[in-house]
Amino acid sequence: MPGGLLTDLYELNMAVSYLRRGMTEPATFSLYVRDLPRARGFLVAAGLEACLDFLEGFGFDEDELAYLASIGFEERDLAELRALRFDGEVWAVPEGTVVYAAEPILEVTAPIAVAQLVETSLLNRVTLHTTLATKAARYVLAAQGRDLVDFSFRRTHGTQAAMAVARASAIVGFVATSNVEAARRYGLVATGTMAHSFVEAFPSEEHAFRAFAEDHPDRTTFLVDTYDTLNGVRTAIAVARELGLEERLGVRLDSGDLDHLARETRRLLDAAGLERARIFASGGLDEHEVAELVRAQAPVDAFGIGTQLGVSADAPYVDTVYKLVEYAGRPVMKLSAAKTTAPGRKQVWRRPVGEHADVLGLRDEDGPAGWTPLLEPAMAHGRRTRPDPDIPAIRERFRADLERVPAKARRLQHAERVTVERSAALRDLTAEAREDALDRAGIGGPRASD
Amino acid sequence: MPGGLLTDLYELNMAVSYLRRGMTEPATFSLYVRDLPRARGFLVAAGLEACLDFLEGFGFDEDELAYLASIGFEERDLAELRALRFDGEVWAVPEGTVVYAAEPILEVTAPIAVAQLVETSLLNRVTLHTTLATKAARYVLAAQGRDLVDFSFRRTHGTQAAMAVARASAIVGFVATSNVEAARRYGLVATGTMAHSFVEAFPSEEHAFRAFAEDHPDRTTFLVDTYDTLNGVRTAIAVARELGLEERLGVRLDSGDLDHLARETRRLLDAAGLERARIFASGGLDEHEVAELVRAQAPVDAFGIGTQLGVSADAPYVDTVYKLVEYAGRPVMKLSAAKTTAPGRKQVWRRPVGEHADVLGLRDEDGPAGWTPLLEPAMAHGRRTRPDPDIPAIRERFRADLERVPAKARRLQHAERVTVERSAALRDLTAEAREDALDRAGIGGPRASD
């Protein structure tokens, strides 16, 4: 299914008007985050690959057109929609790039009808992936190099979101996911142990551990808190010794005072000569709890991160918009209270070394000498201009960029905004476009019809 | 694709152990919300239909099995997985039913391997739909009968979540959605007007309104805040008069002080003799803002609700769990700190009249005489036992149930918990199962192997 109905009805209303009126001039829409959530000092751009997939497949099939006919669209409009493909261009910042408020994540240029029709799905995809990659990055900051694993599938907003979390967390450095389909799709490491129900299904915890170790000798991490955590650790040690699995033993703590239990667990393991056994902690952890455990030097080797990551619980969306900035060569802007937009096709230049300092300007400017332009061509004539980078490449980009996020914006709490400077050319164009918009608004009463 | 990989790896690890060991006795898992989010006094159960769809299609295709082989599953295990279908039974509360913490939303009984494998996807679906239906219900409480429309597609966590929001909001009483595909799929009313970009693409606001009205004479709601809201209202009035569309005029306010602007807009419309023109408000509204506008008697006829609904921003998940409560005829429970479970197959009885008073008990009990059991058979032998109710039927059930939510739990702020009483039989079984669990835990040190 091409998916042309994956849109808001108003996009179709507008597209039909444009098509009827022969308004086929190119429009440029800029997709960016207006303001950062209070709890965020930076964003990790993500979702581009999903957007390009959508654009390459965009169109209407006959069932979709028949539905539109049933709700009042006319045959002459359906004929136009039937022929529509996305044949425009996309400029975008590569996935894994750190961006700040007002910096375009992508810009679309295409005949206005089709550029408008894809708005809803592009916003949806960028919002989802950017929200999740940004949240996952906070865990990476908190974990200070300890392993992180995505455990969020069961509480994400649907299966598609679960796939997005697995990918978004991988691009910022998570080492594995519990989500088997995501591991297959994205080439990630799938990981997992057992649930409490497994322990309960056997006559005793010891029976359960022994059965699991026999069946999965390469995955002998035992969940030890079904009944009593430290007693569970002792059972795990006994079973590991009995089966000669000392070198592969891991234990997972999923409830209680994790700091205390991790220290006691480490003590029991070390006393048994199992210094290499790993301790895995999970149980609804947010990034602040991870940071606190790390700061306290709790002996946790890896964290399983679920719901708080999976829905980005403290900031479940970012304030993305998709704004018309140029139509038929004319820069445009809106003046709505507290929601004004800046006109023109954009570029962002980033200082090449040291903490991030960015300039938001126009695409055709030169920009500060030696600074790096963040937006690159991603699609031309409706086709990708380059292969998608793989996840390790995106992760490398992110790692390098994260190091340069200003310290005040990296903080997990009380992060401060990074101010993005506007270029002189953008400021001038904004002033001009504002005059033009005021004129078009006909402030002072409706103008006579032309 | 059957979708057997839409699960966490640990489910597969456990299933393989069960299958190898011939552990095919029936297990019952109970899916419920452990604790309500702080900002919620009640939940609206939803997601059952999506769960039944998943269960009816459950299985592994050859590509999925090949992937499992590639990550270490053995041929003997794949042969077992290849043959697996969901052939168990489901009891569930009908969608649209109000439920409280600890009350099962559904219970699955099936051979333990398959009942375990479906955990992740069932939790994912119930969590998504219940979270969203519950949030949408709060807008219904806030709007006091004014129309509500779902505008959230662009910021939901993916397309699948967008479909879920459209459906979840419809079952609690929203009158329409902007989401065209959701309208098609669920038989909803699709609605939409125009974006700011449409106004900007024309030489003036007046040109834009006139074009839109000419092209869509049945959908003449004008977005009036692109440049200056009240000036936009005057332009809308002029164009409606010019084209003879006075009877169909609507205006949408999307920014600024909505209370003030709605009153001024109403005044302008009424002064022009357009008493029947409707005022539509949107712009990131949460349920408290809707309630405040309604309380202040702002003349808003309909609200367009987007992101705050679409991600359930103040409570983006509910604390769902899927717990083994019986295996091979034996009631089971876990003892983990602060996460104990109650054993046995459950039923919830609800007082037939007045404010909700519920008793949580065992399925085989009689329950209080004349009280209504909430859980009903939904699937037997892997097949639905009845056709899915349609959305109007679910909406009726919800409306009737909402009226009986205790006042303290209906409040949008500072809602209080509804305490669900445990039956004597459940309390007795819990005490017995706790003894059994302590015994199985081998508290006091690992037991000798048997």
Taking CB atoms and an 8 Å cutoff, what residues of chain A touch B449?
206, 210, 242
Cross-chain Cβ contact B178/A203 below 8 Å: no
Tell how far CA A71 is from the center of its chain.
35
Bridge partners of residue B287, in order along the sequence:
none
State which H helix or E strand residue B301 sits in: none
What confidence score (pLDDT) does residue B340 get? Answer: 73
What confidence score (pLDDT) does residue A36 get? Answer: 96
- Interval B388-408 mean pLDDT: 97
Q: Which among B171, B188, B150 has a CA at the least distance from the CA of B98? A: B171
| C-alpha to C-alpha distance for A100 and A418, rounded to whole angstroms | 7
Bridge partners of residue B360, in order along the sequence:
B348, B422
Where are the CATH 3.20.140.10 domain residues in chain A?
9-58+86-132+323-441
What confidence score (pLDDT) does residue B445 get? Answer: 37
What confidence score (pLDDT) does residue A447 get? Answer: 37
User: Distance (Å) from the C-alpha of residue B421 to the closest C-alpha of chain A?
Assistant: 25
Cross-chain Cβ contact B200/A242 below 8 Å: no
Q: Does domain A9-58+86-132+323-441 have CATH number 3.20.140.10?
A: yes
What confidence score (pLDDT) does residue A220 get? Answer: 86
**Residue B154 DSSP symbol:** G
Query: How many CA atoms are closer than 13 Å to the CA of A307, on its beta-carbon side?
Result: 16
Q: Is B331 helix (H, G, I), strand (E, B) or coil?
A: strand
Q: Is B419 helix (H, G, I), strand (E, B) or coil?
A: coil
- Written as tens digits, the pLDDT of chain A (450 aa) is 578 999 999 999 999 999 999 999 999 999 999 999 999 999 999 999 999 999 999 999 999 999 999 999 999 999 999 999 999 999 999 999 999 999 999 999 999 999 999 999 999 999 999 999 999 999 999 999 999 999 999 999 999 999 999 999 999 999 999 999 999 999 999 999 899 999 999 999 999 999 999 999 887 899 999 989 999 999 999 999 999 998 899 999 999 999 999 999 999 999 999 999 999 999 999 999 999 999 999 999 999 999 999 999 999 999 999 999 999 999 998 776 666 788 999 999 999 999 999 999 999 999 999 999 999 999 999 999 999 999 999 999 999 999 999 999 999 999 999 999 999 999 999 999 988 888 877 653 343 333
> What's the per-residue H, E or C state across chain A?
CCCCCCCEHHHHHHHHHHHHCCCCCEEEEEEEECCCCCCCCCEECCCHHHHHHHHHHCCCCHHHHHHHHHCCCCHHHHHHHHHCCCCCEEEECCCCCEECCCCCCEEEEEEHHHHHHCHHHHHHHHHHHHHHHHHHHHHHHHHCCCEEEECCHHHCCCHHHHHHHHHHHHHHCCCEECEHHHHHHHCCCECCCCCHHHHHHCCCHHHHHHHHHHHCCCCCEEECCCCCHHHHHHHHHHHHHHHCCHHHCEEEECCCCHHHHHHHHHHHHHHCCCCCCEEEECCCCCHHHHHHHHHCCCCCCEEEECHHHHCCCCCCCCCEEEEEEEECCEECCCCCCCCCCCCCCEEEEECCCCCCCEEEEECCCCCCCCCEECCEEEEECCEECCCCCCHHHHHHHHHHHHCCCCHHHHCCCCCCCCCCEECHHHHHHHHHHHHHHHHHHCCCCCCCCC
Cross-chain Cβ contact B193/A10 below 8 Å: yes
Candidate CATH numbers 3.20.140.10, 3.30.479.10, 3.40.50.2300, 3.40.50.300; the one for domain B9-132+321-441: 3.20.140.10
What confidence score (pLDDT) does residue B438 get? Answer: 83
- Interval B318-327 mean pLDDT: 96
Cross-chain Cβ contact A335/B228 below 8 Å: yes
What confidence score (pLDDT) does residue B333 get? Answer: 84
Tell how far CA A300 is from the center of its chain.
27
Taking CB atoms and an 8 Å cutoff, what residues of chain B touch A26?
none
User: Distance (Å) from the C-alpha of residue B6 to the closest C-alpha of chain A?
Assistant: 6
What confidence score (pLDDT) does residue B444 get? Answer: 39
Q: Which among B191, B248, B270, B256 has a CA at the least distance from the CA of B224? A: B256
Residue B413 has pLDDT above 60, yes or no: yes
Residue B447 has pLDDT above 70, yes or no: no
Mean pLDDT computed over every residue of chain B: 94
Cross-chain Cβ contact A158/B231 below 8 Å: no
Q: Is A21 exposed, middle or buried (0-12, 13-18, 19+ CB in 10 A)?
A: middle
Cβ(A200)–Cβ(B332) below 8 Å: yes
Please name the residues in contact with B109: beta carbons below 8 A apart, sequence gap of 6 or more. Answer: B26, B27, B28, B88, B89, B90, B91, B115, B326, B345
Bridge partners of residue A359, in order along the sequence:
A349, A421
- Interval B59-85 mean pLDDT: 97
Where are the CATH 3.20.20.70 domain residues in chain B?
193-281
Residue B442 has pLDDT above 80, yes or no: no
Out of A13, A29, A153, closest to residue B194 by CB: A13
Where are the CATH 3.20.140.10 domain residues in chain B?
9-132+321-441
Residue of B109, B159, B268 to mutate, testing the A interface (most A Cβ within 10 Å of its Cβ): B159
CA-atom Rg of chain B in angstroms: 26
Q: Which among A278, A310, A287, A312 has a CA at the least distance from the CA of A193? A: A278
- Interval B102-128 mean pLDDT: 98
Q: Which residue of chain A has the CA closest to B313?
A: A316
What confidence score (pLDDT) does residue B220 get? Answer: 86
Cβ(B245)–Cβ(B210) below 8 Å: no
Out of B10, B211, B307, closest to residue A193 by CB: B10
Sheet holding B89-92, edge to edge: B330-331, B320-327, B26-33, B106-111, B89-92, B376-380, B383-384
- Interval B60-71 mean pLDDT: 97
Please name the residues in contact with A39: beta carbons below 8 A apart, sequence gap of 6 or more. Answer: A314, A315, A415
Q: Does domain B193-281 have CATH number 3.20.20.60?
A: no
